[in-house]
Amino acid sequence: MNRVTAGSSVPEPGWLSEGGRLRAGWRILAFFGLFALFAIAGQLAASVLPRNPLGWVSWLATAGSALVAGWIVLSHFDGRPLGALGFPWSRAAAVDFGRGLVLGGGLLGSAALLVFASGSARFVADGGTPGDYLAQLGVTLLYFGIAAAAEELLFRGYAFQALVEGIGTWPAILISSALFSWMHGQNPNITALAFGNIFLAGVLLALAYLRTRSLWYATAVHLGWNWVMASLLDFPVSGLVFDTPLYDAVEEGADWWTGGSFGPEAGAAGTIVLLAGIAWLLRTRRLRESPEMRALRPLVDARLGPEEP
């Protein structure tokens, strides 16, 4: 918006858009500034609590910091409620979550099927009891759920949504996916193919959000992939090992195919299913934003709707 004086106009300051709204870049900086403050406070609080092997408290602090920072910026600068960020409480959210679990778990299961069918992996017996097994499944489901929510809030949450609004869909997808891949650079046994596959996973998850505007859906896809990989199939997750009682998965094929000690995310079998998942998300007409989500007016608006993610 310009201020009109005596037949001339004075442009808005550079940090404001034509409508007098703070530009996307400044809003993203505000989000990360608040997130950093909350995350530091959360990690300091976590440091005085008893240690736990899975790092629950650290992931919970990260997720909470990103959620609160996103809520503050979304409310103050954009005039939207918290649910518009992608985590509304509604019946549609439960449907999105269930469908996301099926997609994420199904894709990872398909990669494992390719590996086992080619004779590149087998199961061997391991110690433990059925009770240990069920407890491990429950504990890791909750752990991977918190971790997935934290990563989705950081990489597909407010910053990503404002970036889409500011520079467009595909530039935002490529930038966020590159950062998502780079974040895993310190994981054990990472390879060039792992970097590429995690980039593809970032594209997959960004499309999962864009097709539904639901972080419930994207988080569930993320959770389903990791939980099936680590807990049901006993493969490493991005180089990290989670021991499932009763059986072990032993990889015997070439690392370029199975992913080796990094897990399926570093193998060509993983590449195949990630590309298939991306293609499905781009083409399917079965996914769209729910009426409840649309009513909340998410930042990623109708111009970037289901037919044109």
- Asked whether the predicted pLDDT for residue 3 surpasses 80, the reply is no
Tell me the whole-structure pTM to 2 decimals.
0.91
Range of the domain at 151: 89-304
Query: pLDDT tens-digit profile of 112-159?
Result: 999 999 999 999 999 999 999 999 999 999 999 999 999 999 999 999
CB 197 within 8 A of CB 270: yes
Written as six digits, the tokens of 122 are 């087998």
In a domain, 1, yes or no: no
* Three-class DSSP category at 4: strand
Determine the average pLDDT of the residues in 156-164: 96
- Asked whether the predicted pLDDT for residue 305 surpasses 50, the reply is no
- Asked whether the predicted pLDDT for residue 48 surpasses 90, the reply is no
Domain count, the chain: 1
pLDDT at 149 (0 to 100): 97
In a domain, 60, yes or no: no
The neighbour count for residue 6, using CB atoms within 10 Å, is 4
In a domain, 288, yes or no: yes
Query: pLDDT tens-digit profile of 253-296?
Result: 899 999 999 999 999 999 999 999 999 999 998 898 999 999 99
Q: What is the maximum span of the chain, computed from C-alpha positions, in angstroms?
A: 85
- Asked whether the predicted pLDDT for residue 11 surpasses 90, the reply is no
pLDDT at 13 (0 to 100): 60
Query: What is the DSSP secondary structure assignment for residue 287, as one 8-state letter?
Result: -
In whole angstroms, give the CA distance from residue 212 to residue 206.
10
| DSSP H helical ranges for 158-290 | 158-167, 169-183, 192-212, 215-227, 255-258, 268-283
- Asked whether the predicted pLDDT for residue 307 surpasses 50, the reply is no
CA distances from 13 to 35, 53, 97, 162, 172 (A): 26, 50, 42, 19, 25
In a domain, 233, yes or no: yes
In a domain, 6, yes or no: no
CB 20 within 8 A of CB 1: yes
- Asked whether the predicted pLDDT for residue 7 surpasses 50, the reply is no
Amino acid identity, residue 230? Answer: A
In a domain, 12, yes or no: no
CB 203 within 8 A of CB 173: yes
In a domain, 27, yes or no: no
* Three-class DSSP category at 201: helix
pLDDT at 269 (0 to 100): 97
Q: How confident is the model at residue 52 (pLDDT cuts 50, 70, 90)?
A: low
Which H or E run contains 248? Answer: strand 247-251
In whole angstroms, give the CA distance from residue 253 to residue 267.
11
In a domain, 74, yes or no: no
